[in-house]
Amino acid sequence: MSATNQTVQDHGQHHHHKDLAHHFDTLEQQHDANTLGMWAFLLTEVLFFGGLFAAYTIYRYKYSAMFEEASNHLDITLGATNTVILILSSLTMALAVRCSQTGQAVWTGRWLLITIFFGLMFLGVKYFEWKHDYNIRLMPGKDWAGKDFFWWQYAKKAKEMEKHDKGHSHALPDPKDVLPDNHPSLGIKGIQESQQARLFFLLYFCMTSLHALHMLVGFVLIGIIAYFAYQGAYSPDYYSPVENIGLYWHFVDIVWIFLFPLLYLLGAHMGH
Amino acid sequence: MATVSLESRPYEKVSDHDSSHESVNYLNHDHSILSWLLTLDHKRIGLLYLVTITLMFLLGGALAGAVRLELLTPKGDLLAADTYNKAFTAHGIIMLFFFLIPSIPAVMGNFVLPLMIGAKDVAFPRLNLLSYYLYFAGSVIALTALLLGGVDTGWTFYTPFSSTYSNSYVVVMAVGLFVVGFSSILTGLNFVVTVHRMRCPGLTWFRLPLFIWAIYATSVVQLLGTPVIAVTLGLLGVERTLGVGIFDPRLGGDPILFQHLFWFYSHPAVYIMILPSLGLISEVISTFSKKTVFGYHIIAFSSIAIAVFGFIVWAHHMFTTGISPYAAMVFSLLTFSVAIPSGIKVFSWLATMYGGSISFDTPMIYAFGFLGLFTIGGLTGLFLSTLGTDIHLHDTYFIVAHFHYIMVGGAIMGYMAGVHFWWPKITGRLYSEFWGKLSAGITFIGFNFTFFPQFILGYLGMPRRYYEYPDEFQVLNVFSTAGASILAIGYLMPMFYMPLSFFFGEKANSNPYGATTLDWTDTTSPPSPHNFEKTPVVTEEPYNFHGKEAAVVSH
């Protein structure tokens, strides 16, 4: 394809714009490239979580009864609270993007910081939830591994006690009460139940911790962009970093919107 | 701007006008080490990849040599059984993840993609450098795993062996692959955005060189497939470290799930390796036939079709695992359909050459080798997509021969064609045509000696991954090992004459072959740091050799 000698019309002031990287011709081209890059990255992320969702789907189908029972051990109230918090953070993120587009530098920074605040709140709730999960032996640990199925008996006992006193005393079962001197009494069915419940909780921890990891990365990125926003780095001409971090944050939210029903609501009909 | 007509000999000495003074180019504008290690220039990053993957190729090749030497005799005498397992595993992992997957995209793609589309750089130069260092870090981690004692699972990491029983450094290796996977994802992302947003004025989609179509299709596969293997290896690591049973049937898990997830990436990964070669060969054959590509549109679409089909045939690796026979039938049928776009490409190359004015330069000789080997590799793939035949041939040397015909005979021949093709552009120097053609010929002969006997071995029932075999298989194995040593010579030769050319080779003009794409017509050899003096404007479709004069850019 032979090209002519003619030069592209020089785009005047754009070439000297401080935010225009040398290899782009126009700010618009740069903005489009950045946005497409972010969408492509999110596509990758969908597939990245997709592997876990595929594994979840297979075992949900294979061990549906136990998945529902295991799901019933998670705290719907905390899960729902977190869902609301995260949706609020999406709102504040959308406001940050809007402010960057209209050139309100200070409010861009503020909304970004508020987004981080909601994100931290989410992880705070998650921390107490995980701690509780750990106490009732749902979390992968030494009780969990290999052929030791004791953890599931313990978790069931904890659930029973919680149901009994309507969650007021927060007392944990005495391990001795559930410690089977006689593993065989679990029977093959008990062992299978324990294995299947373990798969559920494995996926629960993998998926929620991968999600949390994405939030942590988000905090760092949002923090950096908030800093630049306060410095006045963004203008109606150039706001793609804010827009892109917004896309990322909404993606993290959407993942949670899927995780919440799949993990928490699955066993809701079994009552608490 | 001077022009040379197409009739002039390709390797004509550069006119005084061109070589009277050393112009500023991307190689000589800054000589410091840091200017290389921290470069954001896609051309320099391409060269960083070239050097690194060449080292990995030598390592992977040495391991292949160890495997072939062990198989010289029926008894396991050179390597211990365990060492043999680790040798072929390391060979597979290094060649696939650290050489073939980055080969054409990261080296050729990085170097020529922006040049071919008239861009100053890829869309995200910093991300590009990050990709390189992720690749580098992943390589270091993988080599660490090898030095610690290696991995004995085979490159496929099948569970529950890899998750429960293997005592080797599976987790370290998995971390290495995880990291290198992100290098691949980011390169793919960068290229997708670059092709979409960085094309120069007038360069519409159907004016893109076919290599760009192929790289684009490859990049999409990298973007969509690689994250799945990343999360799969992550789960494998979790299973190994926590002792939970997501893939372990003893603990309620499903080992077949691992295979599904693994091949959901690793089959498309085959197309990551071969698709760029397919595009590259279109460039080479058209250029050295001085003829426009036959069926441009359908070739472009066949690259996309191969990428799409690549995602829906993964279970053909699992016909013998007891998956549902109905699923197997569907996957078999889909696998057959991959032959359609592949066949279209082969016929298009032949039709392109037909009636063309063919010159037998080194890249073209490599391309010829590619044509024959890729065709054999493709056709034997049909044997394997046939359900009944696959039961017999599964996990035998037939499979080993088949995928080496595609991966080595196809992808590496294509890569070598590409390195030779763009060498004058990359270095501004010409290599020795004599040694070039000789190496292409030796590679072709050595390759066939190595791998053709393996088809017969597999047909006779010799299983892969065994370090001993019955005496009656020895003759063919001796053939194969002897062939491997010829092949090694073929590969080693360019490692001598190419560096020699870099320092002492004759100066190349900007378009020694009279090619028609922007990388040749509108840049100097080697290109200037920012590629183009003026942003090119494209006014017509590619490969128009008729009645045109190929431009030579001079500064």
CATH H-level superfamily of A29-270: Cytochrome c oxidase, subunit III, four-helix bundle (1.20.120.80)
Taking an 8 Å cut-off on Cβ atoms, the answer to whether A195 and B207 are in contact is no
What confidence category does residue A133 fall into, taking pLDDT thresholds of 50, 70 and 90? confident
Q: What's residue A271's pLDDT?
A: 60
Which of A93-97, A156-160, B322-326, B339-343 bottoms out in mean pLDDT, i.e. has the lowest? A156-160
**Residue with structure tokens 């190994």?**
B240
- CATH 1.20.120.1200, domain B32-552, yes or no: no
Which whole number is the average pLDDT over A170-193?
69
Residues 6+ apart with CB under 8 A from A263: A71, A74, A79, A203, A204, A207, A208
Q: Which residues of B touch A49 (CB under 8 A)?
A: 231
Mean local confidence (pLDDT), A217-225? 97
Query: Which residues does chain A have within 8 Å of residue B252's beta carbon, measured at their own beta carbons?
Result: 63, 192, 195-196, 198-199
C-beta atoms of B254 and A58 within 8 A: yes
CB contact under 8 A, A44 and B550: no
Smallest Cα distance from B255 to chain A, Å = 11
Over 50: is that where the pLDDT of A247 sits? yes
A17: pLDDT confidence band, cut at 50, 70 and 90?
A: confident
Q: What is the DSSP letter of B551?
A: E
What is the model's pLDDT at position A149?
67
Average pLDDT value over all residues in chain A: 85
Q: Do B197 and A8 touch (CB under 8 A)?
A: no
B286: Cα within 13 Å, side-chain hemisphere: 26
CA distance B86 to chain A (A): 27
pLDDT for B158 equals: 94
List of chain B residues whose C-beta atoms are within 8 Å of the C-beta of residue A25? 535
**Which pLDDT score is estimated for A175?**
67
Residue B245: predicted pLDDT: 81
Cα distances (angstroms) measured from residue B202 to each of A73, A194, B122, B277: 61, 64, 18, 26
Query: Which one-letter DSSP state was computed for residue B203?
Result: -
∠ CA B78-B82-B88, nearest 5°, is 80
**Which ranges of A138-232 would DSSP assign to H, the alpha helix?**
150-164, 175-178, 187-230
The domain ranges of chain A are 29-270
pLDDT truncated to tens, each residue of chain B (555 aa)? 334 444 333 444 444 444 445 688 999 888 899 999 999 999 999 999 999 999 999 999 999 999 999 999 999 899 999 999 999 999 999 999 999 999 999 999 999 999 999 999 999 999 999 999 999 999 999 999 999 999 999 999 998 899 888 889 999 999 999 999 999 999 999 999 999 999 999 999 999 999 999 999 999 999 999 999 999 999 999 988 887 888 988 888 899 999 999 999 999 999 999 999 999 999 999 999 999 999 999 999 999 999 999 999 999 999 999 899 999 999 999 999 999 999 999 999 999 999 999 999 999 999 999 999 999 999 999 999 999 999 999 999 999 999 999 999 999 999 999 999 999 999 999 999 999 999 999 999 999 999 999 999 999 999 999 999 999 999 999 999 999 999 999 999 999 999 999 999 999 999 999 999 999 999 999 999 999 988 999 998 889 887 554 445 544
CB B134 within 8 A of CB B176: no
- The predicted structure's pLDDT at residue A174: 72
Are B303 and B279 spatial neighbours (Cβ–Cβ below 8 Å)?
yes
pLDDT at B3: 40
For B261, counting Cβ atoms within 10 Å of its Cβ (0-12 exposed, 13-18 middle, 19+ buried), the class is buried
B120 to A23: CB separation less than 8 angstroms, yes or no: yes
Domain ranges of chain B: 32-552
* Cis status, amide bond into B105, omega within 30 of 0: no
**pLDDT (0 to 100) of residue A184:** 52
Interface of B with A in 384-443 (CB under 8 A): none
Total length of chain B: 555
Q: Dig out the tokens for B5 from the structure.
A: 């007509």
Query: How would you class A270 by CB atoms within 10 Å of its CB: exposed for 0-12, middle for 13-18, buried for 19 or more?
Result: exposed
Q: Which of A176-180, A182-186, B5-9, B424-428 has the highest mean pLDDT?
A: B424-428
pLDDT at B341: 95
Pull the structure tokens for residue B273: 């390796």
Burial zone of B6 (CB within 10 Å; 0-12 exposed, 13-18 middle, 19+ buried): middle
Residue among B102, B89, B91 nearest B157 (CA): B89
- Beta carbons of B242 and A1 less than 8 Å apart: no
Please name the member of A7, A33, A192 whose beta carbon is closest to the beta carbon of B197.
A33
Complex prediction ipTM:
0.90
